[in-house]
Chain A
Amino acid sequence: MSFFHWGDIVTIFVWFIEVYMIFVILFYSVILFISIFQLRKKYKLDIRQAHEDYMDEFNTKPVSIIVPAYNEEVGIVQSVRSLLSVHYPIFEVIVINDGSTDNTLEKMIEHYNMKEIKNVVRNQLKTKPIKEIYQSNGLPNLFLIHKENGGKGDALNVGLNFSHYPYFCSLDGDSILEHDAFLKVMKPIIDSDEEVIASGGSVRIANGCQIQSGHIQSVGISDKPLVVMQIIEYLRAFLMGRIGLSKYNLLLIISGAFGVFSKQWVIAAGGYRVDTVGEDMELVVRLHRLLREKKQKKKIVYVPDPVCWTEVPEDIKFLRRQRRRWHRGLFESLWNHREMTFNPKYGSIGFISFPYFWIVEFFGPIVELSGYIFMILCFFLGGIYIEFSILLFLLSCLYGSVFSMAAVLLEEWSLTKYPRASDILKLFFYSITESIWYRPLTVLWRCEGVLRIVIGDTSWGEMKRKGISK
């Protein structure tokens, strides 16, 4: 005779999930409220006015823009064009061709009239060898480096070695920058007399927007449900999560799509790691670690204004790969620095950020997946179990849909980036459906990511780009 009845196990399990979800819901609520206050303050602030002073060369720090490109022949010329027209006093653009197998190199050379130059690169970070360096005729601040394939992290390190300026910005090959993106993210760095050593902004989704020669003409929303859901997801992640965390210097992620870093500090931390798929997060974690170890009061911040528009997968196959990869990247960053978890030496990073990322971000999908499976089981078992099932469903609605709806409303309440009322309605009603289909899907994909970590599979699939610019 067993000591435990099936019923006891069920009850314990329901309790566990319930407590977990309530904990997470409370945590999100706190973050939501911090974000509301932060964002609302800036309602209708004339951003352009606020950034004008920073266009003065004397005040502004020059920035090196590093663009790692691997097989980006479709979008690279457009991306570079949008970069070259960016509103900032002094900058250079360094495109790193990471051993592409397509015509990325040829397209760049041809389109920008690039000539080989004999520059020596100081190897402050160890990288794969450089083959050639090119400079554009006519655009002396545009460089192209051709190197052996070594992955994104390695390409960024080459860019760091080559770059001339004290700040650098890492950028995905196929993103479209807002006109004054650099002014926005450099503002906190300049304002703080360089106490801020890294700064990132919101990334928005370009699918569905009208883009012409590297500029956003009008903001719109795609008709594809998967893309709409991703828009909501990004709003939620950036507007809610990061503002709250950034306020208390707890930020562990500056999106790989757009972020500015102090070169000196990144080199002191050892540059990008080449053996992880989440090199952007890993770097931020390492910077925090270095700062705490050196007892420096430097900060890493996030600016809520949208700075960059990026293409997201429209196809379920690529979205699935992306999510698996992200989850793996998250795990690697946390695991590589696991000793920071609950370590008093690392203060709030160790006691709030790390536990948050472990419990909510990493183990969240596993708990949720078991919840979904359990829900389905209960539904079939009937009786009291149906009630458990309803309970879990309600909780997951609160947990998933409600916060997403709140994020959509928060956007409209403060930043109002979407021009039409119908856009907001669309986003809102899609976000209601989140817990029914989209969230379970992403949970499943992220669990797949976990499974792959467990069985030790290291392949990480590429994203297919179709080129977003006309």
Chain B
Amino acid sequence: MVKNEILILSILTVSILCILIILLSYLIVRKLIENKKRKKIESYEAQISPIIFFMISEASVTTKLPNETPLQLQAIENILGKFSKVLEGKNEKKYLSELATMYLKHEYQRRLKSMRWSTRLNTLYQIEDFNMEDLMYEVYLLLIKKKRISHDEIKLSLRILAQFRYSEILRLLMNQFVHLSEYDFRSILIRLDQEKFDQLILHFHKCLPPLQKAILDVISIKKGWFYLSFVENIFASSAEEIKVRALKAIAEIGYVNQIEPFIELLYSKKWEERMFATKIMGVLKEESTIPRLIELLHDPSWWVRSQAGQAIYQFTNGKEILKLVLATSQDVFAKDMAWEWLNKGV
């Protein structure tokens, strides 16, 4: 019986070993080929890089680049990729986009249909970077038609459609892809143009919480004061988390129509509310709140203490107040925070 087992095991071991060695040979050959290819691509890159630079900077898309082989195409793609990271000018970006469309459009159409997830994803990143609006429809098709599409593809496609001002983007966000995370929504919304964003705000109450939070965050990022009344409304009418987000946006905008409700928040039970209210007082330099701000220097939350320190620091006589706290306060945390703000920028 043992002999049988030995036989079976030996066969198993030897065959696995053979398979592994075959795999190894394949990988080694692949590696050698890849290394060789990389060298070739690098030499192409050195050749075409100055030409592409000339075409983009002189706005003359005239010279024909060698693009017969996949390697040459790869070199063009790499060089355009490098430039897209460093170019700033509007016109330069436009020419880059034109070049990319001219040479890579067909290749990208093909790659978007690839079986390999990483190929599709890389292509989407490139389309976004090169701003290839010609491929908008293909991206839309990928998003809508593909079965078992991955989360990353959904997010990226929507981002691209937002960037290309796709007409149905709001419908997609509000009705179809409602289960994205707040972070995902934010990265999409930040790319919407003003008109689309304003439309979305009109439908705020029909959105699910992650999208609502993202909308408020985008207002915070853009410090969009023209949305102030809207945000104040949301703040007054919403509950819990949405309320805090609205408050955060108001603090970022740095202006309020009526200050009283926010002064009350300096006494809120939630540290987030105390923190943002403190921030608002600092920006608005609301002198009547100084005593409360000094009290907040020994708040249990580090974030509130730090914000209180900053708020006081922003007042014209802020430094004197902080020095006084440092000299007279009994509370070590308050002293600590006063010291920290007095020594900021050391």
Q: Name B235-288 residues within 8 Å CB distance of A.
A: none
With A46-B122, A398-B16: A391-B183 Cβ-Cβ less than 8 Å: no
Taking a contact as CB atoms under 8 Å apart, the answer to whether A191 and B183 are in contact is yes
Please report the C-alpha to C-alpha distance between residue A42 and residue B118 in the assembled complex, in whole angstroms: 6
Closest A residue by C-beta to B184: A191
Please report the C-alpha to C-alpha distance between residue A119 and residue B343 in the assembled complex, in whole angstroms: 12
B contact residues around A53 at 8 Å (CB): 187
Whether, in the assembled complex, B333 has its beta carbon less than 8 Å from a beta carbon of chain A, the answer is: yes
Q: In angstroms, how far is the closest chain B Cβ from the Cβ of A216?
A: 19
Taking a contact as CB atoms under 8 Å apart, the answer to whether A59 and B20 are in contact is no
Whether, in the assembled complex, B125 has its beta carbon less than 8 Å from a beta carbon of chain A, the answer is: yes
A-contact 0/1 string along B8-50, CB 8 Å cutoff: 0110110011001001100110011001000000000000000
Q: In angstroms, how far is the closest chain A Cβ from the Cβ of B4?
A: 10
Taking a contact as CB atoms under 8 Å apart, the answer to whether B9 and A191 are in contact is no
Whether, in the assembled complex, B177 has its beta carbon less than 8 Å from a beta carbon of chain A, the answer is: no
Q: In angstroms, how far is the closest chain A Cβ from the Cβ of B240?
A: 16
Q: In angstroms, how far is the closest chain B Cβ from the Cβ of A124?
A: 10
Taking a contact as CB atoms under 8 Å apart, the answer to whether A394 and B9 are in contact is yes
Closest A residue by C-beta to B5: A391
Q: Name A190-232 residues within 8 Å CB distance of B.
A: 190-193
| B interface: dominant SS | helix
Contact of B10 among A50, A122, A394, A412 (CB under 8 A): A394
Q: In angstroms, how far is the closest chain B Cβ from the Cβ of A310?
A: 26
Q: In angstroms, how far is the closest chain A Cβ from the Cβ of B22?
A: 10
Taking a contact as CB atoms under 8 Å apart, the answer to whether B31 and A412 are in contact is yes
B contact residues around A45 at 8 Å (CB): 118, 121-122
Taking a contact as CB atoms under 8 Å apart, the answer to whether B6 and A59 are in contact is no
Among the listed stretches A249-257, A369-377, A402-410, which one makes contact with chain B, having 4 or more residues with CB under 8 Å of it?
A402-410
Please report the C-alpha to C-alpha distance between residue A118 and residue B340 in the assembled complex, in whole angstroms: 9
Taking a contact as CB atoms under 8 Å apart, the answer to whether B187 and A43 are in contact is no
Taking a contact as CB atoms under 8 Å apart, the answer to whether A405 and B182 are in contact is no
Taking a contact as CB atoms under 8 Å apart, the answer to whether B35 and A421 are in contact is yes
A contact residues around B152 at 8 Å (CB): 50
B-contact 0/1 string along A384-415, CB 8 Å cutoff: 10011011001101100010011001001100
Contact of A391 among B6, B306, B336 (CB under 8 A): B6
A contact residues around B9 at 8 Å (CB): 391, 394-395, 398
Contact of A409 among B27, B306, B340 (CB under 8 A): B27
Taking a contact as CB atoms under 8 Å apart, the answer to whether B332 and A120 are in contact is yes
Taking a contact as CB atoms under 8 Å apart, the answer to whether B12 and A398 are in contact is yes
Contact of B122 among A44, A59, A140, A191 (CB under 8 A): A44
A contact residues around B182 at 8 Å (CB): 193
Q: Name A410-425 residues within 8 Å CB distance of B.
A: 412-413, 416, 419, 421, 424-425
Closest A residue by C-beta to B345: A140
Taking a contact as CB atoms under 8 Å apart, the answer to whether B181 and A119 are in contact is no
Q: In angstroms, how far is the closest chain B Cβ from the Cβ of A112?
A: 14
Please report the C-alpha to C-alpha distance between residue A164 and residue B304 in the assembled complex, in whole angstroms: 12
Please report the C-alpha to C-alpha distance between residue A158 and residue B221 in the assembled complex, in whole angstroms: 34
Report the interface size for chain B: residues with CB under 8 A from the other chain: 47
Closest B residue by C-beta to A429: B24
Q: In angstroms, how far is the closest chain B Cβ from the Cβ of A48?
A: 9
Taking a contact as CB atoms under 8 Å apart, the answer to whether B27 and A59 are in contact is no
Q: In angstroms, how far is the closest chain B Cβ from the Cβ of A290?
A: 22
Please report the C-alpha to C-alpha distance between residue A45 and residue B126 in the assembled complex, in whole angstroms: 12
Whether, in the assembled complex, A58 has its beta carbon less than 8 Å from a beta carbon of chain B, the answer is: yes
Whether, in the assembled complex, A131 has its beta carbon less than 8 Å from a beta carbon of chain B, the answer is: no
Taking a contact as CB atoms under 8 Å apart, the answer to whether B32 and A421 are in contact is yes
With A120-B332, A137-B346: A412-B2 Cβ-Cβ less than 8 Å: no
Taking a contact as CB atoms under 8 Å apart, the answer to whether A120 and B333 are in contact is yes
Taking a contact as CB atoms under 8 Å apart, the answer to whether B13 and A394 are in contact is yes
Whether, in the assembled complex, A5 has its beta carbon less than 8 Å from a beta carbon of chain B, the answer is: no
A contact residues around B125 at 8 Å (CB): 46, 49-50
B contact residues around A397 at 8 Å (CB): 13
Whether, in the assembled complex, A297 has its beta carbon less than 8 Å from a beta carbon of chain B, the answer is: no
Q: In angstroms, how far is the closest chain A Cβ from the Cβ of B339?
A: 6
Taking a contact as CB atoms under 8 Å apart, the answer to whether A402 and B116 are in contact is no
B-contact 0/1 string along A128-169, CB 8 Å cutoff: 000000000100100000000000000000000000100000
Whether, in the assembled complex, B119 has its beta carbon less than 8 Å from a beta carbon of chain A, the answer is: yes
A contact residues around B5 at 8 Å (CB): 18, 391
Whether, in the assembled complex, A362 has its beta carbon less than 8 Å from a beta carbon of chain B, the answer is: no
Whether, in the assembled complex, B302 has its beta carbon less than 8 Å from a beta carbon of chain A, the answer is: yes
Whether, in the assembled complex, A309 has its beta carbon less than 8 Å from a beta carbon of chain B, the answer is: no
Taking a contact as CB atoms under 8 Å apart, the answer to whether B2 and A398 are in contact is no
Taking a contact as CB atoms under 8 Å apart, the answer to whether B181 and A193 are in contact is yes
Please report the C-alpha to C-alpha distance between residue A190 and residue B119 in the assembled complex, in whole angstroms: 24
Contact of B339 among A46, A118, A421 (CB under 8 A): A118
Whether, in the assembled complex, A428 has its beta carbon less than 8 Å from a beta carbon of chain B, the answer is: yes
Whether, in the assembled complex, B93 has its beta carbon less than 8 Å from a beta carbon of chain A, the answer is: no
Whether, in the assembled complex, A111 has its beta carbon less than 8 Å from a beta carbon of chain B, the answer is: no
Q: In angstroms, how far is the closest chain A Cβ from the Cβ of B34?
A: 8
Please report the C-alpha to C-alpha distance between residue A172 and residue B16 in the assembled complex, in whole angstroms: 38
A-contact 0/1 string along B192-226, CB 8 Å cutoff: 00000000000000000010000001001100000
With A58-B217, A425-B28: A192-B20 Cβ-Cβ less than 8 Å: no
Taking a contact as CB atoms under 8 Å apart, the answer to whether B302 and A387 are in contact is no
Closest A residue by C-beta to B182: A193
Whether, in the assembled complex, B117 has its beta carbon less than 8 Å from a beta carbon of chain A, the answer is: yes
Please report the C-alpha to C-alpha distance between residue A140 and residue B343 in the assembled complex, in whole angstroms: 11
Taking a contact as CB atoms under 8 Å apart, the answer to whether A413 and B27 are in contact is yes
B contact residues around A317 at 8 Å (CB): none
Taking a contact as CB atoms under 8 Å apart, the answer to whether A421 and B181 are in contact is no
Taking a contact as CB atoms under 8 Å apart, the answer to whether B27 and A122 are in contact is no
List 5 A-B pairs, minimum CB-CB distance, nearest first. Answer: A45-B118, A120-B336, A49-B125, A394-B9, A120-B332
12 A-B pairs whose Cβ atoms sit less than 8 Å apart in the complex: A43-B118, A50-B121, A58-B220, A115-B346, A120-B335, A384-B2, A391-B5, A394-B6, A409-B20, A413-B27, A424-B28, A425-B28
Q: Chain A interface (Cβ within 8 Å of chain B)?
A: 14, 18, 41-46, 49-50, 53, 58-59, 115, 117-120, 122, 137, 140, 164, 190-193, 384, 387-388, 390-391, 394-395, 397-398, 402, 405-406, 409, 412-413, 416, 419, 421, 424-425, 428
Q: Chain B interface (Cβ within 8 Å of chain A)?
A: 2-3, 5-6, 9-10, 12-13, 16-17, 20, 23-24, 27-28, 31-32, 35, 116-119, 121-122, 125, 129, 152, 181-184, 186-187, 210, 217, 220-221, 302, 306, 332-333, 335-336, 339-340, 343, 346
